[in-house]
Copies of this chain bind each other. A is one copy, B any other.
Amino acid sequence: MKNTDELDQEAIETVRKLIKGIDIAMLTSVTEQGLVSRPMKTQEVEFDGDLWFMTMKDTNVYDELVHYPNVNVAYAGKSYVSIRGKAELVDSRDKIKEFWNIAYEKMLKTTSDDPNLILIKVKADTAEYWEMGNWTKVVKELMNKLTGKQSEESDINRVVDLNN
C-alpha cells in the first residue's frame, strides 16, 4: 500500500518525463472575452509540481493572471498533457537571474535586469495525460499532499486510440 507522498512523487515523475523535451507549452487563461492561450517557453528546470514561465509586466497575460489565476498548461508532443493549476506572479530578481538564459534574451529582447520581467509560477493541481500508442486518459491529482485531500489515481476506462 503506497502512501500519498509516494503517489504524488510517482505522478510528478511521470509528468516530468512526459513534458521533458517539449520546449513550448500552451498556457490558457481567462479573459473577459473568453479563453485565450499562447505559446510559452518551458523553464529548463525539472518539474517538481510547479511550472515556471517568464513574461513581461506590460503584457495581456500578466493582466489576465492578476484577475483570474486559474490556468491550464497543455503540452502537445509525443504525448498530450493537460495541467490544471493556479498561476502566481513572482517578482523575484534572484529567480529571474537563476532561470535566465540566451533563449530568453532572444525571445523577450531584453536583459535579465529588466524590471519589466516577471515570473509566472503555475502550481499544478491535476495532470491528465494521454500517452502515445495507448491513449487511455490518466488523471493524477498532484497536489494532495499540499491540500490534505485523499490521493486518488483514476484510470478512465475509455481507451481512445487516435492512431488511425
A-side residues, CB < 8 A to B, are 23-24, 26, 28-31, 33-39, 41, 56, 59, 70-72, 74, 76, 80, 82, 84-86, 101-103, 106-109, 125-126, 128, 130, 135, 137, 158-164
Q: From DSSP, what is the main secondary structure of chain A's interface residues?
A: strand
Chain B nearest CB from A46 CB (Å) reads 19
A85 to chain B: which residues have CB within 8 Å? 34
CA distance A128 to B39 in the complex (A): 10
Chain B nearest CB from A158 CB (Å) reads 7
- Say yes or no: A33 contacts B125, CB within 8 Å: yes
| Residue ID in chain B nearest A80 by CB atoms | B39
CA distance A107 to B164 in the complex (A): 8
- Say yes or no: A130 contacts B39, CB within 8 Å: yes
CA distance A109 to B29 in the complex (A): 33
- Say yes or no: B33 contacts A164, CB within 8 Å: no
CA distance A39 to B37 in the complex (A): 15
Which of A28, A84, A109, A158 counts the most B-chain CB atoms under 10 A from its CB?
Answer: A28
Pick the contact of A33 from B37, B38, B84 — CB < 8 Å? B84
- Say yes or no: A107 contacts B162, CB within 8 Å: yes
CA distance A37 to B38 in the complex (A): 14
List 25 A-B pairs, Cβ < 8 Å: A26-B26, A26-B37, A26-B82, A28-B28, A28-B72, A30-B30, A34-B70, A34-B71, A35-B35, A35-B71, A36-B128, A37-B72, A38-B82, A38-B137, A39-B76, A39-B80, A39-B130, A56-B158, A74-B74, A102-B164, A106-B163, A107-B135, A107-B160, A107-B162, A109-B158
